């Protein structure tokens, strides 16, 4: 039996951003579908750390996945019994990309850059160094300087900018260039020998755009912002992968199930 993989973002995709009771029934339906499909592997792909991802899944009564991609794609975990273990193969790739260095070794290289302030220790990861930056133009200049400094040190890096939705603060995360949701997905495909067509990814935001247009089957849930949908459509057409994109008619977990059925992931089930 060849495996299938449903890889889905959590916040705003599988986890609804409004907690109306209607989602409880949908989550039950999702559990039932996942359990009735023994060929299906589940992966939650999230910016959250392992503990926060597991708390979120448990809080919403979601099934515990076989795989977790956490910390913005900088860590892959596999379920072993009742716990999760870091995948050493993926870690090795990231270590290689940063020439044996970890995020804490990168931090001293970025000292004394104007407008760059380190975030608290619990937001940092082994391959994820997080900073506050100013929003807008001044922040962009700071990011430019960070990029120059890293390039100068020969460290191929991926700079992820976002906004803290609660405080409006500008955020910058410095990761190895190979650390991203789409790279992690390709790693899972290759290391678990899952046929490419048996995989689908579901997401809802700009953080998922790279996967939407990476050539994997992708589900764009209906609550995704129009700007992200249009950009996904445009880039997918340019790359010749538009046929891989599925724009779900439903939001959140209902859209994920709709897309998973479209890509035939649930064995013999009518969702
Ligand atoms: Mg999301």
User: Residue 190 Cα, ligand 1 centroid: separation in angstroms?
Assistant: 25
Average pLDDT value for residue range 200-207? 94
Q: What is the pLDDT of residues 163-200, one digit of tens each?
A: 887 788 999 999 999 998 999 999 999 999 999 999 99
User: Residue 187 Cα, ligand 1 centroid: separation in angstroms?
Assistant: 21
CA dihedral 252, 253, 256, 260 (to 10 degrees): -170
Pick from 37, 257, 28: which is nearest to 246 by CA?
257
> Across all residues in the chain, what is the average pLDDT?
93
Confidence category of residue 270, pLDDT binned at 50, 70, 90:
very low
User: Residue 151 Cα, ligand 1 centroid: separation in angstroms?
Assistant: 29
What's the pLDDT at 271? 43
Pick from 204, 262, 213, 222: which is nearest to 241 by CA?
213
What's the pLDDT at 162? 85
User: Residue 228 Cα, ligand 1 centroid: separation in angstroms?
Assistant: 12
Q: What is the pLDDT of residues 57-110, one digit of tens each?
A: 999 999 999 999 999 999 999 999 989 999 999 999 999 999 999 999 999 999
User: Residue 204 Cα, ligand 1 centroid: separation in angstroms?
Assistant: 5
**Selected residue with higher pLDDT from 201 and 47:** 201
User: Residue 12 Cα, ligand 1 centroid: separation in angstroms?
Assistant: 4
| Residues within 5 Å of ion ligand 1, judged at the Cβ atom | 9, 11-12, 204-205
Pick from 5, 19, 2: which is nearest to 216 by CA?
5
User: Residue 94 Cα, ligand 1 centroid: separation in angstroms?
Assistant: 23
User: Residue 224 Cα, ligand 1 centroid: separation in angstroms?
Assistant: 9
**pTM strictly above 0.85:** yes
Confidence category of residue 20, pLDDT binned at 50, 70, 90:
confident
pLDDT at 3 over 50: yes
User: Residue 157 Cα, ligand 1 centroid: separation in angstroms?
Assistant: 22
CATH topology of domain 4-74+179-262: Rossmann fold (3.40.50)
User: Residue 162 Cα, ligand 1 centroid: separation in angstroms?
Assistant: 12
Domain boundaries, the chain: 4-74+179-262, 101-176
DSSP string covering the chain, please? ---EEEEE-TBTTTB-SS--THHHHHHHHHHHHHHT-TTEEEEEE-SS-HHHHHHHHHHTTPPPPSEEEEGGGTEEEEEETTEEEE-HHHHHHHHHHTTT--HHHHGGGGTT-TT-EE--GGG-BTTBEEEEE-SSHHHHHHHHHHHHHHHHTT--EEEEEEE-TTT--EEEEEEETT-SHHHHHHHHHHHHT--GGGEEEEE-SGGGHHHHTTTSEEEE-TTS-HHHHHHHHHHHHHHT-GGGEEE-SS-HHHHHHHHHHHTT-STT---
Q: Which CATH code, of 3.90.1070.10, 2.70.70.10, 1.10.287.70, 3.20.10.10, is assigned to 101-176? A: 3.90.1070.10
What's the pLDDT at 135? 85
């Amino acid at each position: 039996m060849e495996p299938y993989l449903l890889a889905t973002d959590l916040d705003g995709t599988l986890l609804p951003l409004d907690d109306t009771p209607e989602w409880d029934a949908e989550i039950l339906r999702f559990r039932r579908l996942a359990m009735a499909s023994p060929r299906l592997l589940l992966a939650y792909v999230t910016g959250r750390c392992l503990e926060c991802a597991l708390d979120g899944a448990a809080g919403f009564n979601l099934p515990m996945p076989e795989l977790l991609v956490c910390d913005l794609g900088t860590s892959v975990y596999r379920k072993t019994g009742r716990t999760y273990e870091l995948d050493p193969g993926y870690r090795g790739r990231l270590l290689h990309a940063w020439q044996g260095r970890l995020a804490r070794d990168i931090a001293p290289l970025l000292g004394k850059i104007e407008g760059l302030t380190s975030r608290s220790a619990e937001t940092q990861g082994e391959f994820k160094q997080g900073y506050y930056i100013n929003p807008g133009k001044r922040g962009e200049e700071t990011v430019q300087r960070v990029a120059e400094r890293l390039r100068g040190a020969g460290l191929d890096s991926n700079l992820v900018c976002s906004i803290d939705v609660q405080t409006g603060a500008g955020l910058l995360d410095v990761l190895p260039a190979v650390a991203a949701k789409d790279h992690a997905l390709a790693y899972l495909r290759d290391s678990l020998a899952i046929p490419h067509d048996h995989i689908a990814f579901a997401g809802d935001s700009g953080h998922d755009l790279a996967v939407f247009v990476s050539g994997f089957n992708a589900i764009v849930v209906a609550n995704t912002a129009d700007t992200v949908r249009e950009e996904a459509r445009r880039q997918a057409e340019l790359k010749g992968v538009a046929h891989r994109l599925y724009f779900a008619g439903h939001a959140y977990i209902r859209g994920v199930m709709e897309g998973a059925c479209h890509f035939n992931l649930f064995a013999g089930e009518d969702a």
